[in-house]
Structure 1
């Protein structure tokens, strides 16, 4: 095993790391300039040399790596990765037994003890996502640990770690047998066509599983539903299966139309009975107002940041305005499903956005229910950013 680099944590951050904070950031380190090779193992101490933990150097977003253990006797070797992945799989035992859901998160970064790494399963095929060149240096150990823990059909990977933080194009196949795409998975008994070899995304965001089920089972029947930033139309499919009278899916990406049609078709739904529009969501809001269109349910699940030719959207700055647009075309007693995956604020602040939007719109509302990440997206309590998903079902009273 490689030699560890000795790294000192500033004393003012000592208690933070002793409490289990997992993320290494430049301000916390006495001298970060000694970190030159991503993937290097780090021996972390306070300024007096007292052991705080072991981690690795890997540049991810604004961070410099992750703490892997606070046990001075624990080595970062094959046994370490075997145990972490085995524990993670045991935590998802109930999902492995659920025949109605064949796609879910198996390993969720710092929530399962290894920041910078996620593993998802899609009907027997595993997808490893690497978020830094640093964690990628442990690829062989992690792949071997996965082989020790599960019998897989095949393994694919996504690299999310070039200098711009964007997806790195590469051959995504790693091990086992290649899948035939589209690969059909189930989620709560609903079919989805996914692609593990086609760019950074697969066709479905697994963290919204419980929200989609709730829409289908409790809210959709007989309703007109607008699904904005619709991607491949997963919310629309669930709403249609729940008895929605009509769904309208709106997304700026050209691929959204054929991808949404495909998701309707693999569920034996008539896509022509529903509306799929390729256009800027904000332009659609203007169009709906002009045409006096209203909806019984409006779903808002925007990316944290998005840019089109005429609009730039930032969840931190622009969500209130997005909500006001939604309020304007939601019918009385209609429901707005407001969602964000932005990790920079918590649920309390998100609810303040909702309050401000309704106040400025001259409308009243009530919160019906809220959601955060499902159980397979395990989080680290000391690292609030890991619990990023916030979803609020809002009833527009008037």
Structure 2
């Protein structure tokens, strides 16, 4: 609930205080949430409708519901997954990712500090996690010993945890890595890329830690090029490949700006049977949407000439501010302007461990296009 929607607050409050939301004109209960006095999101709403008691049993029910939703995924040779997906699991500003028995709790608001001691055993039991690590978003200041990277339970012998995704191994730097240590949301698309990569040359643009690259190699690609501007990220990609295949000569690393490097590849007349374009979010605020759509237009315009006849372009977006309709319309306009015929093979969205509980929670989208 944003601050502009709050007409008045009775008495002072500190981060994490329970806030009863009611309609003063109709004298009617609306909901209950956690108060955040220093954030534009003034109340993190936990429940709406009829009154309810917020206690350990309430949190346990939410956590068990999240666990039940993810059970099918855990049967697929996978032990790296999102256990709690914030608002979408009814626990706003709280994310929990699990990597091979290590749970990483990430707080996007200080409202959860007062409840960590209560939540910790619930999360450990439900996630079967021996070790729990705390991560804090940049807007959240440490409280006491609750600092970014702190170990809340168990022991963390190594900051990098090896976990399994569809029988492939990856590294997650749970103490200092980006987000909670790895990007888990593209799991379904990574698996699909593996299925499409047999006997293909594959270009993984904005590859970061090489998730798509590893799956492509596992799927039987002849050659995989991991392209990213971050040399440290590409070193992690190299290590992820080595975890699964050793020093694989099929894997090449290309450090550079994606826009510039795609131009260079085109000048060299290189082409690929599969090109994955998965950039970071281009729009974190509403005013950036127009620029983001232009960036999607430019990067996919550069990618299209690199797709060989009969090859596939995977165009993805993780910008929540950019709607599915606008993103796919932008990509398909690029394809039409290229003069090449194309066939939409499929569109994909969130994997099961990233449920969508409200319209704004739908951020991930990807389109698979076969080009003539």
- TM-score, length-scaled by structure 2: 0.89
Q: Which secondary structure does the structure 2 equivalent of 1:191 belong to?
A: strand
Partner residue of 1:115?
A: 92
Matched, 1:75 2:50: no
**Preserved CA contact (<8 Å) 1:203 1:232:** no
Instruction: Point out the more displaced range, 173-182 or 227-236.
Output: 173-182
Shift of 1:357: 1.1
Partner residue of 1:321?
A: 298
Shift of 1:106: 1.1
Match of 1:178 among 137, 156, 170: 156
Partner residue of 1:390?
A: 365
Structure 2: gaps (5+ residues):
284-289
Partners in 2 of 1:334 and 1:107 — Cα distance? 37
Partner residue of 2:271?
A: 294
C-alpha spacing 1:62/1:319, structure 2 compared with 1 (3 Å): farther
**Preserved CA contact (<8 Å) 2:202 2:273:** yes
Partner residue of 1:63?
A: 41
**Cα-to-partner distance string for 1:337-390 (whole Å, 9 max, x where unaligned):** 11111111332222111122123323332210111111111221xx21212110
Q: Which secondary structure does the structure 2 equivalent of 1:207 belong to?
A: coil
Q: Which secondary structure does the structure 1 equivalent of 2:36 belong to?
A: strand
How many residues get paired?
Answer: 361
Shift of 1:202: 4.9
- TM-score, length-scaled by structure 1: 0.84
Matched, 1:92 2:67: no
Q: Which secondary structure does the structure 2 equivalent of 1:266 belong to?
A: helix
- Listed as ranges, the matches of 1:1-398 within 5 Å are 24-31=1-8, 37-48=14-25, 49-58=27-36, 63-96=41-74, 98=75, 100-162=77-139, 170-217=148-195, 219-305=196-282, 315-380=292-357, 383-397=358-372
Q: Which secondary structure does the structure 2 equivalent of 1:119 belong to?
A: strand
Shift of 1:247: 0.5
Partners in 2 of 1:136 and 1:162 — Cα distance? 14
Q: Which secondary structure does the structure 1 equivalent of 2:237 belong to?
A: helix
RMSD: 2.5
Structure 1: gaps (5+ residues):
1-23, 307-312
**Preserved CA contact (<8 Å) 1:35 1:57:** no
Shift of 1:161: 4.1
Q: Which secondary structure does the structure 2 equivalent of 1:152 belong to?
A: coil
Partners in 2 of 1:81 and 1:128 — Cα distance? 15
Partners in 2 of 1:390 and 1:360 — Cα distance? 22
Shift of 1:194: 1.7
Partners in 1 of 2:50 and 2:85 — Cα distance? 24
Partners in 2 of 1:136 and 1:370 — Cα distance? 39
Partner residue of 2:286?
A: none
Shift of 1:271: 3.5
Partner residue of 2:287?
A: none
**Cα-to-partner distance string for 1:86-141 (whole Å, 9 max, x where unaligned):** 22112222234x26111111111112111111111111111111111123332222
**Preserved CA contact (<8 Å) 1:59 1:133:** no
Partners in 2 of 1:365 and 1:68 — Cα distance? 45
C-alpha spacing 1:351/1:257, structure 2 compared with 1 (3 Å): closer
C-alpha spacing 1:61/1:372, structure 2 compared with 1 (3 Å): farther
